[in-house]
Amino acid sequence: MSFDLRMLGWTDEFQAGLPDGAVPGRVARVDRGAAEVVTADGRHQARYGAQVRRESAADPIALPCVGDWAALTLLDEGRYELARVLPRRTAFVRGGVSRDSRGGLSGDGQGQVLAANVDIVFVAEPSMHAADFADLGRIERLVALAWESGGRPVVLVTKADLFDRGLDDLLADVAIAAPGVDVHAVSSISGEGVGIVRSYLGDSRTAVVLGPSGAGKSTLVNALAEATVMETQQVRAADGRGRHTTVHRQLIPLPGGGLVIDTPGIRRVGLYEMSDGVDLVFADIEELAAGCRFSDCRHTEEPGCAVLEAVETGELPERRLNSWHRLQREAAWMARRSDARLRSEETRKWKIIHKEMRRSGRGRP
Ligand SMILES: Nc1nc2c(ncn2[C@@H]2O[C@H](COP(=O)(O)OP(=O)(O)OP(=O)(O)O)[C@@H](O)[C@H]2O)c(=O)[nH]1
Ligand SMILES: [Zn+2]
């Protein structure tokens, strides 16, 4: 089997970062200490070289992940070694990482990259979910994550065929929740919108599909792939197998061009904490907050809260403030749960707050 590297997303930019004599390959799956890579002449298992082992021991952010482009060295025995990860264009990172001033990633030894070099982030939100309508707050959260990754978010209102009361109104609401982001209605059953989704994957771009369980992600990927590359809920229910036992392909080339990355980590990515992205999505609230009397105002019941005032006057939809509160709670919860380092910081913060309270308490008449 042979592959045209360009069809796998190889660009001049990556070519420029390839050391002389190295063979380029794209990571399709990772295991401990080794990766499955796709090169121009097929699929190979490649063990990590000394540099990768050294760098990733210091900071797991340097570990190869699905979607990475790698420089491979051909060993004598015809085997490949993964010598180096080429600079990532975009990355979904979980925990402990921030972007530096140049937009690059700098880890603190805690982060993990879930997928790399993703160009398009489809945020799939079902128009109808059981008896519920689309959840605008969830769209905001996933769009925030998409921006944080460096990829371009596109919102897909899925299962559009199930929605029988004013889809245009719903799409208009979604557009408000995701400013500056394209929004499309999609039905994998009727085929509506599937062509539009495909059009984003021109020039061999790489996409992920984020969204809650049951949003129709697998069904959509199967429609794009024109084949069953992923098991949908129906199939899983039918054969009674556990939902997460299925081993499916993680880097899926589509017949019409473009690729989709799907890994268990990416599927759960919506649960992870986020910081910068939330600020971007809630720039309106951040701006209003500058007018609050207290600089650490939580916009709940504080006197002189400019955000609550804006809700009262109708300037800020109350739903948006509620979303912001929920995101703050979730982010704090996830951070507390997933990161012992943050946990100790949290303790320290509360110690300072309590000390501060005692101090100001003493100062009162
Ligand atoms: N009516 C309708 N049903 C759909 C559509 N897309 C998916 N479904 C159904 O919705 C259910 C869930 O679809 P999946 O594709 O498995 O959803 P998923 O987002 O991959 O779910 P997880 O794998 O749990 O994350 C299945 O029963 C699908 O047949 C659609 O466009 N219209
Ligand atoms: Zn406030």
* Cβ-contact 170, 163 below 8 angstroms: yes
Ligand nearest to the CA of 236: 1
* CA-proximal residue: ligand 1, atom 7 (nearest): 216
Cβ 265 under 6 angstroms from ligand 1: no
- Residue 8 CA to residue 204 CA, distance in Å, equals 6
Calpha distance 44→29 (Å, rounded): 11
Say if residue 10's pLDDT is above 80: yes
Residue 53, by phi and psi: left (phi above 0), alpha (psi -120 to 50) or beta? alpha
pTM to 2 decimals?
A: 0.72
pLDDT digits (tens, 9 = 90+) for 161-184: 988 888 898 999 898 888 889 999
* Cβ neighbours of 2 (radius 10 Å): 7
Å from CA of 194 to ligand 1 middle? 14
Residue 100 has pLDDT above 80, yes or no: no
Which one of the ligands is nearest to 123 CA?
Answer: 1
The backbone torsions φ and ψ at residue 317, rounded to the nearest 5 degrees and listed phi first, read: -60, 135
Percent of the chain with pLDDT over 90: 43
Residue with tokens 């051909």: 74
Residue 235: DSSP 8-state: H
Annotation: binding site for Zn(2+):
292, 297, 299, 305
Q: What is the CA 122 to chain-centroid distance, rounded?
A: 9
CA distance 82 to 60: 16
Pocket lining: 216 vs ligand 1, CB cutoff 6 Å: yes
Neighbours of ion ligand 2 (CB under 5 A): 292, 297, 299, 305, 307
Q: Which residues are annotated as a binding site?
A: 158-161, 211-219, 292, 297, 299, 305
Partner residues linked to 91 by β-bridges: 116
For the chain, the average pLDDT equals 80
pLDDT of residue 248 exceeding 60, the answer is no
Query: How many other β-carbons are positioned within 10 Å of the β-carbon of residue 194?
Result: 18
Q: Residue 363 pLDDT > 50, yes or no?
A: no
The tokens 């207290």 sit on which residue?
Answer: 294
In this prediction, residue 153 has a pLDDT band, given cuts at 50, 70 and 90, of very high
Q: Is pLDDT at 135 greater than 90 in this prediction?
A: no
Query: Cβ atoms within 10 A of the Cβ of 299, count?
Result: 22
What's the gap in Å between 129 CA and the centre of ligand 1? 10
**What's residue 152's pLDDT?**
93
Helix then strand count (H, E) for the chain reads 13, 17
pLDDT band at 231 (very low <50, low <70, confident <90, very high): low
Contact 90, 108 (CB under 8 A): no
From 123, 217, 219, mutation site for ligand 1 pocket: most ligand atoms within 8 A of C-beta: 219
Binding site membership of 237 for ligand 1 (Cβ less than 6 Å) = no
Does ligand 1 have an atom closer than 6 angstroms to the CB of 215? yes
SS3 label, residue 277 = helix
Tell which wins on pLDDT, 233 or 59. 59
CA 192 to ligand 1 center in whole angstroms: 15
Which residues, other chains included, contact 127 with Cβ-Cβ below 8 Å and sequence gap of 6+? 133, 134, 157, 158, 159, 160, 162, 163, 167, 170, 185
Q: Which of 129, 190, 218 is the best mutation target for the ligand 1 pocket, counting ligand atoms within 8 Å of the beta carbon and taking the most?
A: 218
- d(CA 92, CA 68) in angstroms, rounded, equals 11
Q: In b/e form, how buried is each residue of 53-65, taking b as 16+ CB within 10 angstroms?
A: eebbeebbbbbbb
- What integer pLDDT is reported at residue 150 of this predicted model? 87
Residue-wise burial string across 224-249, b where 16 or more C-beta atoms lie within 10 A, e elsewhere: bbeeebbbbeeebeeeeeeeeeeeeb
Residues 86, 71 contacting (CB under 8 angstroms): yes
Whether ligand 1 lies within 6 angstroms of the CB of 189 is answered as yes
Could you tell me which of 119, 151, 258 has the C-alpha nearest to residue 198?
Answer: 258
Contacts of 131 (CB under 8 A, 6+ apart): none
| Whole-angstrom Cα Rg for the chain | 23
Domains, the chain, in order of start with CATH, read: 5-88 (2.40.50.140), 118-263 (3.40.50.300), 282-363 (1.10.40.50)
User: What value does the mean pLDDT take over residues 288-299?
Assistant: 91
Query: Who wins on pLDDT, 65 or 337?
Result: 65
CA 157/CA 183 separation, integer angstroms: 7
28 pLDDT more than 70: yes
Give yes or no for residue 234 CB within 6 A of ligand 1.
Answer: yes
